Amino acid sequence: MTYNAIKIVKGKAGWGGPLIIKPDEKRNKVLSVTGGGIDPVSRKVAELTGCEVVDGFATTIPDDEVFVAVVDCGGTARCGVYPKKGVYTINLTPVGQSGPLAQYIKEDIYVSGVKPEDVTLAEEGATISQAAKATEEKSSSSKAKAAPADEKKSSFIVRMGKAVGGVVGKFFAAGRQTVQMVINNILPFMAFVSMLIGIISESGIGNVIAEAIAPVSGSLPGLLIVCIICALPFLSPILGPGAVIAQVVGVFLGVEIGKGNIPPQYALPALFAINPQVGCDFIPVGLSLGEAEPETVEIGVPAVLFSRVITGPISVVIAWLFSFGLY
């Protein structure tokens, strides 16, 4: 079987790429981890290259058989997991280097905002990118070789200096990691939230929303209904990505609690009612991070989705019981 090389460019507002890549005998499967079946981009990639498409929500395959992973990540987890593993990644959402694994998201392995028309056959003679995995391994092995050279017996003061330096270095690294996190993830979300709150509270839309939301979220039955809807197995994987929906709804409810439209004792049950879908978009990836077998993923995805229908409403009731005597 011969495979064709393809070129994938970033879409509007996308980031990374272009990737010019070709499957080989081993890496010849397109892994579609997008929730709600196989997406058009995976299909296009498979069609052009001659690869097979695998629905990541139905099963999983070893990482070294994945030619390219297609995700629709909102910027937290999936967009970084595959680049970290050294797998070419196409993100359908236009997300750049973000999330806790942002450091692994590089132009030569990741491209985002991709639409089917951004995937084309590579022109003849175009240079094919090398699998990022190989280069990564090389650099780490050269580092490992260099390390033992300076391990000589040194005096007490030198050793103490090194130890203190090591600790200070760790503090500094922790600080840098934190600030990076704030810039990459927290500040952009704050900007987005502020814009929403500004428009909603000043334009009068807020009053309309309040009239619709407040009666629902200011009572236990109302919260249970919200929770059951969010936990429906066909909705929960769609509502999950990046926890964006849960976060936006959380901000809405916060504004209404602040205005006094929702009593504060409903804050705790609400935290669970708006979030029974947490991680439902991420089950196959999360399981493969835990080195689960394909058979486990096949069973694990529906098991977790069904479990949420039962445990979602239970969590709201427990939270409601625990909210007595709080405010």
Site residues for other proteins, 139-198, by CB under 8 A, read 167, 170-171, 173-175, 177-179, 181-182, 185-187, 189-191, 193-198
Whether residue 280 lies in the annotated active site: no
Which one of residues 32, 49, 89, 315 is an interface residue with other proteins (CB under 8 A)?
315
Residue 251-290 contact track with other proteins, rule CB under 8 A, x = bound: xxxxxxxxxx-x-x--xx-xxx-xx--xx--xx-xxx-xx
Which strand ranges, in their side-by-side order, compose the sheet holding 6-8?
Answer: 19-21, 6-8, 119-121
How far is residue 285's CA from residue 266's CA, in Å, rounded to a whole number? 33
How far is the C-alpha of 280 from the C-alpha of 318, rounded, in Å?
21
Quote the strand ranges of the chain, DSSP E. Answer: 6-8, 19-21, 29-33, 52-55, 66-71, 89-91, 110-112, 119-121
DSSP 84: H
Considering the candidates 51, 73, 227, 230, report the single residue annotated as catalytic.
73
Nearer CB in complex with other proteins: 26/176? 176
Contact 41, 48 (CB under 8 A): no
Residue numbers 9-38 binding other proteins by CB under 8 A: none
Q: Is the backbone peptide bond immediately before 148 cis, with ω within 30 degrees of 0?
A: no
- Binding pattern for the stretch 63-102 against other proteins, x by CB under 8 A and - elsewhere: ------------xxx--xx----------------xxxx-
What is the token pair recorded at 108?
């030569």
- 233 touches other proteins by CB under 8 A: no
Among residues 323, 201, 204, 195, which one has the least CA distance to residue 255?
201
Residue 70 or 287: which CB sits closer to other proteins? 287
> Any contact of residue 208 with other proteins (CB under 8 A)?
no
Q: Which is nearer to other proteins, 18 or 250 (CB)?
A: 250
Kindly tell me which of 126 and 251 has the beta carbon lying closer to other proteins. Answer: 251
Which sequence positions are flagged as catalytic? 73
